[in-house]
Amino acid sequence: MLSLRSRTALAGLLASLLASAAIAADPITHAFLVTGGETFITDGSGKATWKYPLSTRDGWVLDNGNVLLALSKNKEYPGGAVVEVNADGKVLFEFKGTQSEVNTVQPLGDGKVMLTEAGPKPRLLEVDREGKVLIDVPLTAQTKDIHLQTRMARKLANGNYLVPQLLDKVVREYDAKGKVIWEVKTPNMPFTAIRLPDGNTLIGCTHGNMVIEVDKDGKEVWRVTNDDLEGKPLSDTCGVQRLENGNTVIASYRATAKQVKLTEVTREKKIVWTYTDDRKAGIHHFQILDAKGKPEKNPLR
């Protein structure tokens, strides 16, 4: 007969094995929106459930199921644009860019939309549903390479704007008048800048193939690169999202067919999920959705 200590140890071992089996039987999956050379939504199995025919820079699935997109410049939109479309692709709202590119978009309350324009006068705008400009924020950015001015700007809870500036290698926080309130230099071109609930800022650095997190003083407190990850899956780390569980999902814009395009890592830098498909286009940015295709309440992306 087994002793009490042996029975306890055996019970613990069985519990551990059952937990491991449950994890193996229930792998992590995600539905998500993809923006880039191809624009689509996929379910947790990797099946595309929605597609949009134009190239995009940024986008959001809204609570009502519509999709808000920043469009790459094309013949119809030579300065880029922002559109909101329904499930059938019908355009419900449109704002045409007035300069060279529209590289980011964010839905705000009361139907308002925030976007950035790259060009001779780089700026951030808030517009209403009629396309009226409500706020016009001039951005202090270089103009020798317009394409590398700014990317995923976001309005913060304090009313300011967080703006990653690629060629300047800096993330800046602006107020509504264009005054720089805070900034941090980055080790490579910043594409994504996300203000976290604790005040830290998560930054995806494109060609550096890295994501860093800095505190309010700009001190780096976390970093993940290909040197930390098996298989070195990161290739042009553009879009980034911090999930509610604390994990970080990272896009690889240079990844092509059959290469890893999304990588989810824990705080301990362990890979827990990846996404690969047969499309030649990489992923510029993305939005992780729940099993029903709905967005998180306040996605950190």
Residue 138: closest CA among 148, 150, 130, 129: 150
Q: What is the pLDDT of residues 221-279, one digit of tens each?
A: 999 999 999 999 999 999 999 999 999 999 999 999 999 999 999 999 999 999 999 99
Q: Which amino acid would we find at residue 186?
A: T
* Cβ atoms of residues 116 and 163 within 8 Å: yes
The percent of residues above 70 in pLDDT, for the chain, comes to 91
Q: What is the pLDDT of residues 59-69, one digit of tens each?
A: 999 999 999 99
What pTM was estimated for this model as a whole? 0.89
For position 26, what pLDDT does the model report? 62
Q: What is the pLDDT of residues 103-146, one digit of tens each?
A: 999 999 888 999 999 999 999 999 999 999 999 999 999 999 99
SS3 sequence of the chain = CCCHHHHHHHHHHHHHHHHHHHHHHCCCCCEEEEECCCEEEECCCCCEEEEECCCEEEEEECCCCCEEEEECCCCCCCCCEEEEECCCCCEEEEEECCCCEEEEEEECHHHCEEEEEECCCCEEEEECCCCCEEEEEECCCCCCCHHHCECECEECCCCCEEEEECCCCEEEEECCCCCEEEEEECCCCEEEEEECCCCCEEEEECCCCEEEEECCCCCEEEEEEHHHCCCCCCCCEEEEEECCCCCEEEEECCCCCCCEEEEEECCCCCEEEEEECCCCCCCCEEEEECCCCCECCCCEC
Return the CATH number of the domain spanning residue range 30-289. 2.120.10.30
* Cβ atoms of residues 233 and 211 within 8 Å: no
205-233 burial, b at 16+ Cβ within 10 Å, e below that, comes to bbebbbbbbbeeeeeeeebbbeeebeeeb
